[in-house]
Amino acid sequence: MKGIKAVELYEALEEEFRPWECTEVFPKKGLQFHHTDWIEKVYTSTFVGEEVLDQLKQKNARRCMLFTHHPVPQRSAPWEKPPAIPQEHLAFLQEQEITLFSYHIPLDRNGPYSPGASLAKALGGEIEGEFYQQNQVLMGVLCRFPSTRRSDLCEALEKTLGNPIACYPYGPEELSGGRFAIMAGGAKDHQIYRQLRGWGVDAFITGVTNRQVPWVEENHRAAMENQVSLIGGTHCATEKFAPMAMVQFFCGLGLEAEFLSETPHLNEL
């Protein structure tokens, strides 16, 4: 019978991501709900949203794992708190013997499957360094793009993400050495823009750039002062390449794996 013991899969994930080396913003790291001792397939997604659960229902998924980056659905608006998973969805997971496993900060940590590294690779960028420490790990990447034009970087990002982006051109059109940086999802630390300027980085890609979000306005001021263009692609879209990359991790363990896509929230831009 195809598949793997759940406990063996948990151990493989812990060995790869070493969750004990970081702190977390959610109550649990890793296993959220254990519903089966034998896992035949893994589905990956960025969030545990309505679209993901609908796809699992359509596929009649059973005795499997749902591996997500976030253990909750997307926020309906970027200034609101993450909602809880509806009870009906939790009941579905239990009935179908679908285990929910989520790595947020452990997956954010820079590595072969992290959001920043995965997005940089998808963009065709070359990673030259890392920055942005949070929850005891580094999760941002410093990159070099083949073109030195900001407009080319933005065009490539929009094509790669598959959705509209927002570009606030606070920096020059000509990128010094093609340098840019990525902190996928969200980046509250406004001190980084001075650091980026000091490193000769002219453009910064992240997820949430809507100025109506209280903490984002300070980022705009810092980006403008330091002449670093701020480029937003939405939280979900900039982080989706991590669960996409995780498909290969699970396939490497001999498991069938599949990524489930979600619609990004453009009100984050």
Q: What are the boundaries of each domain within the chain?
A: 4-106+239-262, 115-238
Task: Name the token pair of 180.
Answer: 């840019």
**CB of 129 within 8 A of CB of 101?**
no
**CB of 203 within 8 A of CB of 180?**
yes
Task: Name the token pair of 26.
Answer: 């959610």
CATH of domain 115-238: 3.40.1390.30
Which H or E run contains 18?
A: none
State how far the Cα of 49 lies from the Cα of 141, in Å rounded to an integer.
Answer: 28
State how far the Cα of 223 lies from the Cα of 229, in Å rounded to an integer.
Answer: 7
Residue 31: the pLDDT is 98
Which H or E run contains 131?
A: strand 126-134
Pairing state between β 179-182 and 203-206:
parallel
Q: What is the pLDDT of residues 81-131, one digit of tens each?
A: 889 999 999 999 999 999 999 999 999 999 999 999 999 999 999 999 999
Closest C-alpha among 39, 43, 41, 35 to residue 97: 35
- Is the predicted pLDDT of residue 1 greater than 80, yes or no? no
State how far the Cα of 226 lies from the Cα of 162, in Å rounded to an integer.
Answer: 29
Q: For residue 164, what are the CA distances in angstroms to 36, 107, 122, 149, 232?
A: 39, 25, 16, 19, 9
Residue 81: the pLDDT is 86
Q: Which pLDDT band, with edges at 50, 70 and 90, does 76 fall under?
A: confident
- Is the whole-model pTM more than 0.95? yes
Which H or E run contains 156?
A: helix 150-161
The answer for residues whose C-beta is within 8 angstroms of residue 218's C-beta and 6 or more apart is: 190
- Is the predicted pLDDT of residue 79 greater than 90, yes or no? no
Residue 95: the pLDDT is 98
Question: Which class for 254: exposed (0-12), middle (13-18), buried (19 or more C-beta within 10 A)?
Answer: exposed
- Edge-to-edge order in the sheet of strand 126-134: 126-134, 137-144, 179-182, 203-206, 229-232, 166-168
State how far the Cα of 175 lies from the Cα of 202, in Å rounded to an integer.
Answer: 6
Residue 108 identity: D
DSSP string covering 19-41, please? GGGS--SSS-SEEEE---SEE-E
Percent of the chain past pLDDT 90, that is, above it, reads 96
**CB of 208 within 8 A of CB of 131?**
no
Q: Which pLDDT band, with edges at 50, 70 and 90, does 132 fall under?
A: very high
Superfamily designation of domain 4-106+239-262: NIF3 (NGG1p interacting factor 3)-like (3.40.1390.30)
